[in-house]
Amino acid sequence: MYFIISGGAFQPEFSGPIANLTITLGRDATFTCHVKHLGGYRVGWVKADTKAIQAIHDHVITHNPRVAVTHSDHTMWNLHIKGVQIEDAGLYMCQINTDPMKSQTGLLSIVVPPDFISEATSSDVMVGEGGQVKLTCRARGIPPPRITWRREDGKDIIIREPFAGSAPNQKLQVSIVNEFFGEELKLMKISRNEMGVYLCIASNAIPPTISKRIFLSVHFPPVIQVPNQLLSAPLGTDVILECFVEAFPKSINYWVKDKGSMLISSFKHDVKVIEKSQFEIQMVLIIRYLQKSDMGTYRCAAKNSLGEVESSIRLYGEYTPRFPQLSNEVSREAHKEYLIRLLDGTHSKWMAGEERENCVIRAAYRFNARVHLRTIPISFSPTLFLYFISFVDNRNARD
């Protein structure tokens, strides 16, 4: 490259180096060449690797419309490149047309933030419990991105690998990590607890860091757990029945009493499903104001495309102990009549006796196959049966 030389009192020289530039793809870049005593000499810009002249003095030579030149007082000469592209990277030379020619260079480095390669990155994956899967994540960028795997819920990743030299189907070496580095994440003998969103994170120190969500679904048939298979509650109270279901795909869940039809929410029943996790739910049946007719066997059932299962809860009612109810006294001199109501609701019985000052009721009843004689109050329950009641004079009573 040659320029016309114009003389001057001093030979031109550079007053400082050209700074190297690292620019993100698409941003603007500006090289500055500091010159003193330029006089009638000229400054030119050349792309060193291609020897393509970019500009001479204040005239742009290249046909690249993104290139421009400016200067300030003939001491600061600027080469501007708008919206840098990958092909703009390289060495740029600032020259002064002295003899011999003086020059200095600056390096333009282009950095590119990460970008996923869609065709080489996994989408959502489905696998049966106990199976294996390989999740793949690849990204481009300058410098090349680093791939990190994490679980979105913060749980650990379980890596199972065969021991070196071990035969297939042998015991696996297990390591538990919070994050895994590499483009491929291999998961073996997967359990339902490993289901969820896995994050593939690509970073190369050039903002922004990017991530992709990959949902791993683990399929298995329903399983039901029942905390209490035998349940009792006082009559007249509300009762809560519970079943815990694990299933994926999500199951259809319902309640049935004895051999009847499916129970739905009504004034008598409240049917709820509470989601605990991706694959866990809590089935709740609330029975309002428990009656004898509500007693029986309740079945909770769950089914999905892989199977169906049910479990049962036997519900009993409890009778609340109460004193026998007695009728009001008709008169002090008249005979008294007492109404003793049997609390099991089957029948009532009137009894009459003569007026006595110290009159008590004595009852013989059977409890757990034994016979006792005891002064009232008498309580009744499903296991207590009244045999007879009589009036006796307390002065002649003997225990």
Whole-prediction pTM = 0.69
172-180: Cβ within 8 A, 24+ apart: 178/150, 179/148, 179/149, 179/150, 180/148, 180/149, 180/150
Query: Which CA distances in Å does 328 have to 323, 332, 336, 339, 375?
Result: 15, 11, 9, 9, 20
**What confidence score (pLDDT) does residue 172 get?**
86
Residue 320 has pLDDT above 70, yes or no: no
116 contacts 208 by C-beta, under 8 angstroms: no
Residue of 281 and 366 predicted with greater confidence = 281
CATH of span 117-221: 2.60.40.10
**What confidence score (pLDDT) does residue 319 get?**
66
**What confidence score (pLDDT) does residue 167 get?**
66
Fold agreement (13-111, 117-221): yes
Residue 20 has pLDDT above 90, yes or no: yes
Q: DSSP alpha helices (H): ranges in 295-380?
A: none
Taking the alpha carbons at both ends of the chain, their separation in whole angstroms is 134
Residue 388 has pLDDT above 80, yes or no: no
The band of 115, judged by pLDDT with boundaries at 50, 70 and 90, is: very high
Residue 391 has pLDDT above 50, yes or no: no
**What confidence score (pLDDT) does residue 359 get?**
35
Among the CATH numbers 2.60.40.10, 3.40.50.1820, 1.25.10.10, 1.20.1090.10, which is that of 13-111? 2.60.40.10
Rounded CA-CA distance 257/74 in Å is 96
Domains in the chain: boundaries: 13-111, 117-221, 222-318, 338-391
Using a 10 angstrom Cβ sphere, with 0-12 exposed, 13-18 middle and 19 or more buried, the burial of residue 337 is: middle
Residue of 296 and 364 predicted with greater confidence = 296
Q: Which of 74-83, 161-170, 389-398 has the highest mean pLDDT?
A: 74-83
- Least confident piece of the model among 27-31, 122-126, 127-131, 381-385: 381-385
Pairing mode, strands 180-181 and 172-177: unpaired
Amino acid identity of 218?
V
- Average pLDDT score over the chain: 83
Residue 216 has pLDDT above 80, yes or no: yes
**What confidence score (pLDDT) does residue 351 get?**
39
CATH of span 222-318: 2.60.40.10
**What confidence score (pLDDT) does residue 259 get?**
87
37 contacts 8 by C-beta, under 8 angstroms: yes
**What confidence score (pLDDT) does residue 399 get?**
38
Residue of 387 and 274 predicted with greater confidence = 274
Grouping H, G, I as helix, E, B as strand and the rest as coil, residue 146 is strand
Q: How many CA atoms lie within 13 A of 44 on its CB side?
A: 22
Rounded CA-CA distance 224/247 in Å is 9
Give the pair of three-digit tokens for residue 129.
């419990």
The band of 356, judged by pLDDT with boundaries at 50, 70 and 90, is: very low
Residue 353 has pLDDT above 90, yes or no: no
271 contacts 287 by C-beta, under 8 angstroms: no
- Least confident piece of the model among 25-39, 148-162, 384-398: 384-398
Mean pLDDT in residue range 276-300: 96
Mean pLDDT in residue range 249-265: 95
The band of 170, judged by pLDDT with boundaries at 50, 70 and 90, is: confident
